[in-house]
Amino acid sequence: MNKRIPVIVISGFLGSGKTTFLRYLLRESNKKFGLIINEFGDVGIDGDLVKSCNGCDDSDEGCIIELNNGCLCCTVQDDFIPSIKSLLNFNPDIEAIIIETSGLALPLPLIQALNWPEIRTSIYLDLVIGIVNGESMLKGSPINDLNEITNQYDELNKIDHNASIDELFEEQLEVSDIVLISRADVLNEKEFKSIKNIIKEKFNSSVPILKSLNGKIDLKYIFDIDLKKNNKKFISEEHDHNHVELVSDLVKLNYFLEKKEFEKEIANVLSETNILRIKGRIWIPNKSLPLQIQIVGKKINTWYEEAPLNCWRPIDSGGLELVIISFDIESINKFIKKIKEKFKVLNVHK
């Protein structure tokens, strides 16, 4: 009988630091993983960021599977189960499978999908890691401008197949076996203890809660310490399949701005639009590395880092590629229009 492979689920709200932690985990663990990254949009920005950390190259297509539907549990038979089987067949010697959920995904249906008959003899759920943005939690919410996002969500008046932002955050923490507080470098000890108490009192009193600085933690909590697993009680529990519905789009421009100018202009655009999440990159002539873009709400983060050889690159050396996520397509269309106006762009590259 073949050995069952453990599965680690990494869950957390938009901008919590899931990809940052995953990159650290891959670099420092010296283990061979199969990866499933679930996100919104046709371009796998997050997947590109973790490929080099997992020892993948552009020809190694079985190393990471990216599912861009935004909700793994909606496509269990079409996407998720085939992805698990593909990882096991392509990498028979992998030591574990890591699943990074999208930032607005409810983890419970995914946990239950791991128990489907087609795959449960080959894998088992080992650990659910919940990640919380400590800087945001100082204000008592999972994201800096949660009230604005919640108002935007409520204004759409959607009823079917939705979960509130509060319900989503609560479930992500409720099923976690360990909780990581990211952005811990901006917290003093009193602030960290305050956030820790909020999580224990409101969501989950039994799990270890650790500081994470730029994704770094003591990995013995992941691989060596025999944690009391909280997730087991949820595997067969009946649960309504509700989640936040989102839409996404992609914009590519043969136009660029330098780092500081981009941050200034994009801040102006964000102040005039209701956008939940943006990720992408800018190609700036005479720069050896592209500028990586990660935006949650109004919070902008940029840095220079290498991109895969097979990703989109502008025709004339300078250009911009962004994946935009929102609750409605009208907000995205308005954002793209504002981008073209602010950047004085007349045409969009497809």
Supply angle C-alpha 247, 73, 219, rounded to 5. Answer: 100
* Distance separating alpha carbons of residues 23 and 126, to the nearest angstrom: 19
Q: Please choose, from the candidates 66, 59, 6, 77, the residue with its C-alpha nearest in 3D space to the C-alpha of residue 37.
A: 66
Residues of the chain with CATH 3.30.1220.10: 247-342
5-234 CATH choice from 3.40.50.300, 3.40.50.2000, 3.40.1160.10, 1.10.357.10: 3.40.50.300
Supply angle C-alpha 42, 46, 47, rounded to 5. Answer: 80
Residues of the chain with CATH 3.40.50.300: 5-234
* Distance separating alpha carbons of residues 99 and 231, to the nearest angstrom: 15
H/E/C letters for each residue in the chain? Answer: CCCCEEEEEEEECCCCCHHHHHHHHHHHHCCCEEEEEECECCCCHHHHHHHHHHCCCCCCCCCEEEECECCHHHHHHHHHHHHHHHHHHHCCCCCEEEEECCCCCCHHHHHHHCCCCCCCCCEEEEEEEEEEEHHHHCCCCCCCCHHHHHHHHHHCCCCCCCCCHHHHHHHHHHCCCEEEEECHHHCCHHHHHHHHHHHHHHCCCCCCEEECECCECCCHHHHCCCCCCCHHHHCCCCCCCCCCCCEEEEEEECCCCCHHHHHHHHHHHHHCCCCCEEEEEEECCCCCCCEEEEEECCEEEEEECCCCCCCCCCCCCCEEEEEEEECCHHHHHHHHHHHHHHCCCCCCEC
What per-residue confidence (pLDDT) applies to 207?
86
What per-residue confidence (pLDDT) applies to 291?
94
Q: Are strands 277-283 and 178-182 parallel, antiparallel or unpaired?
A: unpaired
Amino acid letter, residue 37: I
CATH topology of domain 247-342: Hypothetical Protein Yjia; Chain: A;domain 2 (3.30.1220)
228 CB-contact burial (10 Å; exposed 0-12 / middle 13-18 / buried 19+): exposed
Taking the CA atoms of residue 169, residue 292, residue 61 and residue 108 in that order, the dihedral angle to the nearest 10 degrees is 0
Query: What is the phi/psi pair of residue 263, to 5°?
Result: -60, -40
* Distance separating alpha carbons of residues 146 and 152, to the nearest angstrom: 10
What per-residue confidence (pLDDT) applies to 205?
74
pLDDT tens by residue, the chain, 350 residues: 468 899 999 988 877 888 889 989 988 888 888 888 876 554 456 656 666 565 554 444 556 777 765 555 555 556 778 888 888 888 778 889 999 887 766 777 788 888 888 888 899 999 999 999 888 887 766 655 555 555 544 554 443 334 566 777 788 888 888 999 988 888 899 999 998 888 888 776 778 899 998 889 988 888 876 766 655 555 555 545 555 567 788 888 888 888 999 999 899 888 888 888 888 899 998 888 999 998 887 888 899 988 877 788 887 778 888 888 887 888 888 998 888 887 766 445 44
| Residues recorded for the chain | 350
Contact 313, 285 (CB under 8 A): no
